[in-house]
Amino acid sequence: MFAVIKTGGKQYRVAANEQITVMSLAGEAGESVTFSDVLLIEDGAATQFGSPFVAGASVKAEIVEQSRGPKVISFKKRRRKNSKRKRGHRQDLTIVRITEVVA
Domain hosting 47: range is 2-102
In the Cβ-directed half-sphere of 24, how many Cα atoms lie within 13 Å?
8
Question: CA-CA distance, 31 to 95, in Å (whole number)?
Answer: 12
User: How many domains is the chain built from?
Assistant: 1
Give this prediction's pTM.
0.84
- Model confidence over 14-28: pLDDT tens digits? 999 999 999 999 999
More confident residue, 74 or 1: 74
Question: CA-CA distance, 64 to 84, in Å (whole number)?
Answer: 40
pLDDT score recorded for residue 91: 96
Question: CA-CA distance, 86 to 11, in Å (whole number)?
Answer: 32
